[in-house]
């Protein structure tokens, strides 16, 4: 075998990395969304397209992909039979479909024990111990994803309206948000009618910024969010000496705010999810016996 | 003038009542949805249809509607210029468009001072003092409507997943909800992908039932909801001797749980929102000088 492929597919794009059997990355490429839950056929098309482009980027014949094994990390792969359906229609020599969290965990901590907390627009956790990995959270905006940017942003809009109604305290932050909506609560509500999690999440950095300045509403939202993160970390059952990587757009904001007992566990992630897929491919199908860059 | 009309229009149906100038109801009728925010033309059609049917029900010529004044209570009438747009195209002799909460308040407490808390799939509050009425809350499921059936139901599903993950305590109720979703959290999440507020609200009565039996998760959700109701009531600035009516499907469940200071204020509503619209029409356009049945 000459190559292995790592694929990281999500709702906005699909990335592929072509690597030598030892996991050394030769080329990267990307294509459109690979959402296996909403459009399996299109997801397959974009996965194959990203893989072919990676071959071309590396100066190789893309037809080689039928002789190349791949590890794919895909959002939704842990739900229902999407994984099996996709594996049946992929053209690679062999395909191993993992959840997006699994390749992110591998990318961040390698193949050994460790844990990740993904804190971005959504939130999710994953821990691996003795080779067995286990998810916590990540159930989505409506009934999960506590402490995610989307939930923090939505909390801010809710508190802003409660302050408008005189039910809760107003603050510099709620006044600024009201001004964003022309001091008209109906404009705010209109925004929420079609707002996606990412739209709510856009307000999250401002909440952290104001909390740092002592804004009472922002502090209350951030305190609740930190308690939510620590609650989920508690369910990961971390011990002294464990490795914990915070990932996602809010990682840097949460890290210094976590309780002292978590600080010694925190590590910078070794690499991203795509690199995690490559490493798993090299270990499973190639010549790497342990993590690359491990 | 021979008649006055009261209209109560909402997202699922439009009701009309034809009354004598003193407010005595002669006939009622209904038609389809009157959602002025999403479909003004269709709302007008259904409003006119309900009014014509009320004339027919009363054995009167529906063409008389052009000589009949009307008070209409419509969801969304307090937002933007929908009220003005609708008033311009209605065929009644004269049209007065109020918010749905205003006619509900009138129906419940008459034309004097008083307050309502609408606790159904959504939640909203309104207080009238010295003839001036003021809304509190009612901003919708995503960033408002605290203590509504939809929010209580959503809280239950969130707590159920937190219990599944071992982050929060499980209880008989969370175990029952997991069983509803075949003990598969992904089935629960799948439900939330397309769930409307009413779908979440369907779980609310069960939360109250289990709370009464001491279920720890249910009690915690209900305690939070009661605090939310009392927070909103606080913003209504109620005083000794004021009248407070709880309306909506959860009214009977919340009433006995409110703090002792609210118990002396609670009254059964005099009538429904449609009767409120009729009373306002009789007072404004007819011969009634005070509330009917007042």
HSE-CB of B70 using CA atoms within 13 angstroms: 33
Is B189's CB within 8 Å of A144's CB?
A: yes
pLDDT at B235: 97
pLDDT beyond 60 at B291: no
In this structure, are B179 and B86 located in the same domain? no
pLDDT of residue A199: 94
pLDDT in tens, A223-261: 999 999 999 999 999 998 999 999 999 999 999 999 999
List, as ranges, residues 41-80 from B with C-beta within 8 Å of A.
Answer: 78-80
Give yes or no: residues B179 and B259 share one domain. Answer: yes
Say yes or no: B211 and B247 in one domain.
Answer: yes
Residue B116 lies in a domain: no
Residue B131 included in any domain: no
Residue B160 reports pLDDT greater than 80: yes
Q: How far apart are CA A76 and CA A266, in angstroms?
A: 27
Alpha-carbon span A220 to A223, nearest angstrom: 5
**Whole-number pLDDT of residue B294:** 37
Asked if residue A158 and residue A257 are part of one domain, the reply reads yes
Q: Which residue has better confidence, B35 or B186? A: B186
The residue with greater pLDDT, A85 or A282, is: A282
Higher pLDDT, B288 or A21: A21
Residue B58 included in any domain: yes
Measure Cα distances from B12 to B31, B36, B50, B75, B148 in Å: 9, 12, 13, 11, 18
Tell me the CATH number at B178: 3.30.420.40
**DSSP for chain B, written as a single string:** ---EEEEEE-SS-EEEEEE-TTS-EEEEEEES---TTT-HHHHHHHHHHHHHHHHHHTT--GGGGGG-EEEEEETTTTSTTHHHHHHHH--SSEEEEEEHHHHHHHHHHTTSSEEEEEESSSEEEEEEETTEEEEE----TTT--TTSHHHHHHHHHHHHHHHHTTSS---HHHHHHHHHTTT-HHHHHHHHHH--HHHHHTTHHHHHHHHHTT-HHHHHHHHHHHHHHHHHHHHHT--TT--EEEESTTHHHHGGGS-GGGGGGB---SS-HHHHHHHHHHHHHSS-SS-TT-
Mean pLDDT of B263-267: 97
Residue range A256-274: mean pLDDT, rounded: 97
Q: Does B209 lie in the same domain as B181?
A: yes
Say if A119 falls within a structural domain.
no
Give the pLDDT band (50/70/90) at residue B187.
Answer: very high
Average pLDDT over residues B221-249: 96
- Looking at residues A287-294, what average pLDDT do you find? 56
pLDDT score at B290:
56
Per-residue pLDDT of B48-105, as tens digits, reads 999 999 999 999 999 999 999 999 999 877 777 888 888 889 999 999 999 889 999 9
Question: Cβ–Cβ of B80/A186 closer than 8 Å?
Answer: yes
The separation between the first and the last C-alpha atoms of chain A, rounded to the nearest angstrom, is 23
A157 touches chain B (CB under 8 A): yes
With CA atoms as reference, the chain B residue closest to A139 would be: B189
In this prediction, residue B1 carries a pLDDT of 64
CB-based contact B188 A143, cutoff 8 Å: yes
Question: Domain range holding B214?
Answer: 149-265
Round to whole Å and give the CA distance between A204 and A213.
Answer: 15
- Yes or no: say if A74 and A36 are a contact pair by the CB < 8 Å rule: yes
Contact A143 B192 (CB under 8 A): yes
Q: Residue B125: inside a domain, yes or no?
A: no
* pLDDT higher than threshold 50 for residue B263: yes
From residue B181, alpha-carbon distances to B161, B175, B189, B204, B222 in Å are: 11, 10, 9, 16, 22
pLDDT at B289: 67
Q: How confident is the model at residue B38 (pLDDT cuts 50, 70, 90)?
A: confident
Let me know whether A237 and A162 are in one domain.
yes
> Which residues from A are below 8 Å from B162, CB to CB?
146, 231
Cα–Cα distance for residue pair B190/B184, rounded to 1 Å: 10
Chain B window 136-155: which residues touch A at a Cβ cutoff of 8 Å? 136-137, 139-140, 142-144, 146, 154
User: Structurally, how many domains does chain A consist of?
Assistant: 2
Mean pLDDT for all residues in chain A? 93
Asked if A167's CB is within 8 angstroms of B80's CB, the reply is no
Residue B143 lies in a domain: no
Provide CB contacts within 8 A for A216, sequence distance 6+.
A169, A171
Q: Which residue in chain A has the smallest CA separation from B142? A: A192
Task: For residues B257 and B279, state if they share a domain.
Answer: no
Selection from B56, B186, B131 nearest residue A135 by Cα: B186
Judge whether A290 lies within some domain. no
Q: Are residues A279 and A201 in the same domain?
A: no
pLDDT band at B223 (very low <50, low <70, confident <90, very high): very high
Nearest to B137 by CA among B238, B22, B234: B234
Calculate the average pLDDT of chain B.
93
Contact A140 B192 (CB under 8 A): yes
Q: Does B74 share its domain with B182?
A: no
**Beta-carbon-side half-sphere exposure of residue B76 (alpha carbons within 13 Å):** 17
Residue B208 lies in a domain: yes
Q: Is the pLDDT of residue A291 over 70?
A: no
Q: What local confidence, expressed as pLDDT, does residue A146 receive?
A: 97
Q: What percent of chain B has pLDDT over 70?
A: 97
Q: Which helix (H) or strand (E) holds B127?
A: strand B123-129
Nearest-Cα distance to chain A for B29, in Å, is 31
DSSP state of B148: S
Q: What is the dihedral of CA B59, B65, B71, B76, to 10 degrees?
A: 110
Say if residue A202 is in the same domain as residue A257. Answer: yes
Q: What are phi and psi of A169, to 5 degrees?
A: -65, 140
- Place B275 in a pLDDT band, splitting at 50, 70 and 90: very high
Specify the pLDDT at position A168.
96
Determine, for residues A192 and B168 on separate chains, whether the beta-carbon distance falls below 8 Å.
no
Q: How would residue B293 be classed by pLDDT, with cut points 50, 70 and 90?
A: very low
Distance CA B142, CA A288 (A): 49
Is A68 found in the same domain as A41? yes
List pLDDT tens digits, range A13-34. Answer: 899 999 999 999 999 999 998 8
Are the CB atoms for A207 and A229 separated by under 8 Å? no
- Band of the pLDDT at B208, cuts 50, 70, 90? very high
Q: Is the pLDDT of residue A294 over 60?
A: no
Rounded to the nearest 10 degrees, what angle do helices A172-180 and A204-212 cross at?
Answer: 150
B238 with B274, same domain: the answer is: no
């Amino acid at each position: 075998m000459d190559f292995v492929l790592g694929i990281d597919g999500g709702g906005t794009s699909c990335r592929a990395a072509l690597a030598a059997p030892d996991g050394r990355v030769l080329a990267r490429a990307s294509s459109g969304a690979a959402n296996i839950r909403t459009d399996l056929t299109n997801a397959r098309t974009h996965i194959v397209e990203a893989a072919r482009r990676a071959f071309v980027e590396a100066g190789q014949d893309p037809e080689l992909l039928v002789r190349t094994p791949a590890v794919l990390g895909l959002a939704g792969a842990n739900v229902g039979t999407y994984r099996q359906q996709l594996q049946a229609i992929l053209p690679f020599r062999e395909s191993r479909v993992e959840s997006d969290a699994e390749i992110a965990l591998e990318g961040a901590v390698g193949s050994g024990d460790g844990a990740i907390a993904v804190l971005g627009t959504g939130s999710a956790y994953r821990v691996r111990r003795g080779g067995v990995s286990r998810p916590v959270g990540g159930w989505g905006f409506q009934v999960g994803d506590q402490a995610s940017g989307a939930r923090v942003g939505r909390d801010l809009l809710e508190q802003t309206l409660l302050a408008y109604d005189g039910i809760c305290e107003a603050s510099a932050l709620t006044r600024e948000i009201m001004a964003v909506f022309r001091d008209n609560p109906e404009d705010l509500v209109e925004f929420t009618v079609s707002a996606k999690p990412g739209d709510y999440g856009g307000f999250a950095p401002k909440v952290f910024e104001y909390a740092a300045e002592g804004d009472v509403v922002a502090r209350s939202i951030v305190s609740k969010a930190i308690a939510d993160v620590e609650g989920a970390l508690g369910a990961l059952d971390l011990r002294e000496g464990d490795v914990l990587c915070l990932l996602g757009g809010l990682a840097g904001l949460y890290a210094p705010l976590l309780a002292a007992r978590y600080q010694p566990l925190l590590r910078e992630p070794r690499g991203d999810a795509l690199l995690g897929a490559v490493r798993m491919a090299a270990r499973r199908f190639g010549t790497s016996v342990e993590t690359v860059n491990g």
